[in-house]
Amino acid sequence: MRGCSEISVWTACLLVTLLGCDEPAPRVSAEAELQVASSTTAQTATVAAEAGPKRPTDPFYANLHHLKVSIRSSLEASVVAGTNATLGPALTQVAKRVLVWWIDPNRDLYPGDELELVYSTPNGVEPAVHAIWFRSEKLGRSFEAVHFVPSGALHPRWFDPEGREIELRLKDGPIREYEQITSILKDGRGHKGVDFKAPTGTPVYAPFDGRVERKNWSLRGNGLALDLAELRSGRRALLLHLSAIVKGLRPGSRVKKGQLIAYSGNTGRSTAPHLHYQLQRSLHGKVIDPFDFHRTWRARLPDSEMPALRERLIKYSKLRESVT
């Protein structure tokens, strides 16, 4: 009897050791049939860590999280299953701001596509994505990008490993310094304009030679706003959610392309500081995509910035290796 008791105690201890130290796996929807691998600072399975490379201990990684999902349903459902119902939708929207420059998220996602993110969750603001990897079954290729601040730049921008900027820029657009384009006409949201995330007070310029047609109409929704008509074509440019308009501008005022006319803001029905830029053929005419109207270009990092870019991408990639 004593021997049996000793064996039972030994067995119980072994079970506690094996089971008690292991964090429970994230709960995944069976309907979505997702294969999810997620590592975070607060939740990493001990057995998995012992079986493969361990999470880096450098303080650089203290607030960073890694997510990998294989798409079996919608993008948002996949991300929610890999995180939770609170974080997932917001993280999906932030990731889509990069994906839209590679694919149409509403038409080009296929079962088996893989998405990986390195992200953080700052208090009081939306999630921040720092690096992204995406494998497209439809296109048969992979994409990757890192959020990087070039020397002397005011804001970080998205670059591929060769230093090419991910986002297109508008030549002679209404804003020159901004953090990110957060909405375009082709992202499937039904938005009628391009949204530029920018700090309140960022200068806004006239996109063409024109005339001020309206000022501060529908204040509750648009906030401070300008409606410009192009002199030679009658096209209209709507600039919404401004913080201030240059003194002296009123309906009938003439403006020149590139002239300072206002400052971006967060007025009206706006949830964060940004500039809404909308083009139309006429006052009630068809909406025009600014990326079709303007000439476009992409910035490229100088050779002097490439070592720092690659070093940052390597550091983020170590979180991928820690869960393989």
What does the pLDDT average to over 133-147? Answer: 97
pLDDT of 272 > 70? The answer is yes
pLDDT of 217 > 50? The answer is yes
Q: Give the pLDDT band (50/70/90) at residue 53.
A: low
User: Domain of 131: which CATH number?
Assistant: 3.10.450.350
pLDDT of 94 > 70? The answer is yes
Cα 194 to Cα 182: distance, rounded to the nearest angstrom = 8
pLDDT of residue 124: 83
pLDDT of residue 321: 82
**This prediction's pTM:** 0.80
pLDDT > 70: percent of the chain: 83
Give the closest residue to 134 by CA, choosing from 70, 60, 213, 214. 70
pLDDT of residue 48: 34
Domain range enclosing 99: 26-167+307-321
Give the closest residue to 199 by CA, choosing from 231, 223, 175. 175
* 173 and 131 share one domain: no
What does the pLDDT average to over 99-110? Answer: 92
Q: Are 135 and 113 in contact (CB under 8 A)?
A: yes
Give the closest residue to 321 by CA, choosing from 116, 157, 124. 116
User: Domain of 223: which CATH number?
Assistant: 2.70.70.10
Cα 15 to Cα 304: distance, rounded to the nearest angstrom = 55
User: Quick check: is 19 in a domain?
Assistant: no
**CA dihedral sign of residues 71, 72, 77, 80:** negative
* 80 and 202 share one domain: no
User: Quick check: is 287 in a domain?
Assistant: yes
pLDDT of residue 12: 43
Cα 46 to Cα 51: distance, rounded to the nearest angstrom = 9
* 125 and 208 share one domain: no
Question: 116 — phi, psi (to 5°)?
Answer: -130, 140
Cα 219 to Cα 267: distance, rounded to the nearest angstrom = 8
* 220 and 257 share one domain: yes
Q: Could you tell me how many residues make up the chain?
A: 324
User: Quick check: is 162 in a domain?
Assistant: yes
* 173 and 282 share one domain: yes
Average pLDDT, the chain: 86
pLDDT of 47 > 60? The answer is no
The residues that bridge with 238 in the sheet, in sequence order, are 227, 278
DSSP letters, 188-210, are: SS--SSEEEE--TT-EEE-SSSE
Give the closest residue to 272 by CA, choosing from 210, 183, 162. 183
pLDDT of 4 > 60? The answer is no
* 66 and 147 share one domain: yes
User: Quick check: is 10 in a domain?
Assistant: no
DSSP assignment, residue 121? -
* 129 and 217 share one domain: no
* 142 and 231 share one domain: no
Segment (H or E) for 159: strand 157-159
pLDDT of residue 1: 45
* 252 and 215 share one domain: yes
pLDDT of residue 323: 58
* 53 and 136 share one domain: yes
* 147 and 90 share one domain: yes
pLDDT > 90: percent of the chain: 76
Count of domains observed in the chain: 2
pLDDT of 80 > 60? The answer is yes
Q: Which of 12-16, 34-38, 53-57, 274-278 has the highest mean pLDDT?
A: 274-278
Burial of 248 (0-12, 13-18, 19+ CB in 10 A): exposed
Cα 223 to Cα 308: distance, rounded to the nearest angstrom = 41
pLDDT of 28 > 50? The answer is no
* 162 and 175 share one domain: no
User: Quick check: is 105 in a domain?
Assistant: yes
pLDDT of 319 > 80? The answer is yes
